[in-house]
């Protein structure tokens, strides 16, 4: 749901709160080292030495550290421009805007997922089937469907709706005309 930039912005925002300018400079330097290490192929060491980042994909790990380095530099520059002694995420308008966007995207994704799950729950009685017909039956079905202005699947669905189960377990379909609705 979140890209490397989103993760970096969130982590820096949380971990940077209250850090002094000197502490942020230390974070910039650390992120620069991690970025070089992961970009340079030393991902095994970076994976072992970074407990909060245990990615199996070295490329993704390199992207995350590159994004963190950029975000720590942005925070460093914000502190310098704001003239404050420490980083206050609530005063950082750019960081706050990005945080709101992440919350909104997450809420939209969760809403979409909830709707999908509700649809799945509602569809539990529906049936999706794949039917293999011999050539002559398939040709007859396509001819009937074409005559009714329907797809073959629509004719089969209407056929199934008209099936009658007899007392002896036999199935029959009374005569009906497929309807294009």
Model confidence over 32-52: pLDDT tens digits? 999 998 887 644 544 454 555
Query: Is the domain of 25 the same as that of 111?
Result: yes
Write down the pLDDT at residue 43. 42
Report the run of H or E that residue 171 belongs to, with start and end: strand 171-172
Enclosing domain of residue 74? 4-122
Q: Are residues 116 and 137 in the same domain?
A: no
What does the pLDDT read at residue 2? Answer: 74
pTM of the model: 0.57
Residue 23 above 80 pLDDT? yes
Do 20 and 60 have their domain in common? yes
Shared-domain flag, residues 110 and 166:
no
Cβ(180)–Cβ(149) below 8 Å:
yes
Strand ranges (E), the chain: 164-165, 171-172
Q: What is the pLDDT of residue 1?
A: 59
Q: How many domains does the chain have?
A: 2
Task: Enter the tokens of residue 90.
Answer: 């609530």
Whether 106 and 135 map to the same domain: the answer is no
- Residue 118: which pLDDT band, with cuts at 50, 70 and 90? confident
5-20: pLDDT as tens digits: 988 999 999 999 999 9
What are the distances in angstroms from CA 100 to CA 64, 80, 95, 97, 117?
20, 24, 9, 5, 25
Q: Are residues 118 and 131 in the same domain?
A: no
Residue 114 pLDDT grade (very low, low, confident, very high; cuts 50, 70, 90):
very high
Of the residues 101, 122, 143, the one at which a domain ends: 122
Q: Are residues 138 and 105 in the same domain?
A: no
Could you report the per-residue pLDDT of 52-92, keeping only the tens digit for each?
555 567 888 889 999 999 999 999 999 999 999 999 999 99
Q: Which residue would you say has higher pLDDT here, 125 or 70?
A: 70
**Cα radius of gyration (the chain):** 30
Q: What's the pLDDT band for 119 if we cut at 50, 70, 90?
A: confident
For residue 87, what are its two tokens?
């980083």
Q: What angle do CA 14, 20, 25 make, to 5 degrees?
A: 90
Q: Are residues 95 and 134 in the same domain?
A: no
Indicate if the pLDDT at residue 151 is higher than 60: yes
Same domain membership, residue 102 and residue 14: yes
């Amino acid at each position: 749901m979140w890209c490397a930039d989103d993760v970096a912005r969130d982590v820096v925002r949380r971990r940077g709160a209250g850090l002094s300018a000197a502490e942020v400079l230390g974070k910039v330097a650390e992120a620069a080292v991690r970025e070089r290490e992961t970009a340079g192929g030393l991902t095994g060491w970076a994976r072992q030495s970074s407990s909060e980042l245990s990615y199996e994909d070295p490329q993704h790990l390199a992207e995350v550290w590159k994004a963190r380095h950029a975000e720590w530099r942005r925070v460093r520059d914000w502190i310098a421009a704001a003239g404050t002694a420490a980083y206050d995420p609530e005063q950082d308008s750019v960081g706050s805007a990005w945080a709101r966007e992440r919350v909104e995207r997450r809420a939209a994704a969760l809403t979409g997922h909830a709707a999908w799950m509700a649809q799945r729950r509602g569809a539990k009685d529906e049936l999706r089937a794949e039917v293999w017909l011999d050539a002559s039956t398939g040709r007859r079905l396509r001819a009937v469907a074409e005559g009714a202005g329907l797809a073959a699947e629509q004719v089969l669905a209407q056929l199934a709706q008209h099936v009658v189960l007899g007392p002896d377990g036999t199935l029959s379909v009374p005569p009906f005309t497929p309807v294009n609705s």
